[in-house]
Every structure is written in C-alpha cells, then in structure tokens.
Amino acid sequence: MKRVVVSNPQGFHARPADLFVKTASQFAARIEVNKSGEVVDGKSILSILTLAAVQGTELVIQAEGQDAETAVEALADLFEQEFVDESTSSPTSEHQRDRGSV
C-alpha cells in the first residue's frame, strides 16, 4: 500500500490514467486505487476516471498477489515522475526544448 498525491493541475486525467492502467496490467497482482473510501480496479481506465481525482487528491494504491509490492512501487513511481516518459516525448515538448523554453 502506498499513498500518492495527484500533482497535475489537470488532475488524474485520461493520459496519465491510461499509462497507469497499462503499467498496472503488466502485473499479475490485483491492483486497487482508493480515494476517500471509494475503491476501484486499478486495471480499468473507466474505473480510474470515475474517481475524478483533481490536483491535490490523495490516492492509496494497494495490491494483492505475488508481485504486489513491485506493482505498487512501479505505480507510485509514475506519480513521483509526474507521468513523464522520457522515451516518448511529445512533439510539443520537443519543440519547446528546441526554442529553449520548457
């Protein structure tokens, strides 16, 4: 179990939710996300989006199964890295870097 806080000003919206679900689906463990007692399936993008987690929302990631601890750490890391995947930069961010602004 690990507590995380949504830091994105747009909240836990579709793109990070998609990355979260794709990551969660790589594990055998049953993964759940808890927002103030509302528990949803961490491998379902629809369930994640129903949480409507805005910036500042605290979520608890919990898992059960053989790789539960690894799964929770990997998912919590997504929040710590603010869902930035350096290997897949968006054209906008590359353009901004070229212009010297971020």
How deeply is 72 buried, as exposed, middle or buried, from its count of CB atoms within 10 A (0-12, 13-18, 19+)?
buried
Determine which one of 8, 13, 30, 60 is catalytic.
Answer: 13
CA distance 51 to 43: 13
Phi then psi dihedrals of residue 83, to 5 deg: 60, 30
Whether 95 is catalytic is no
Catalytic residue numbers read: 13
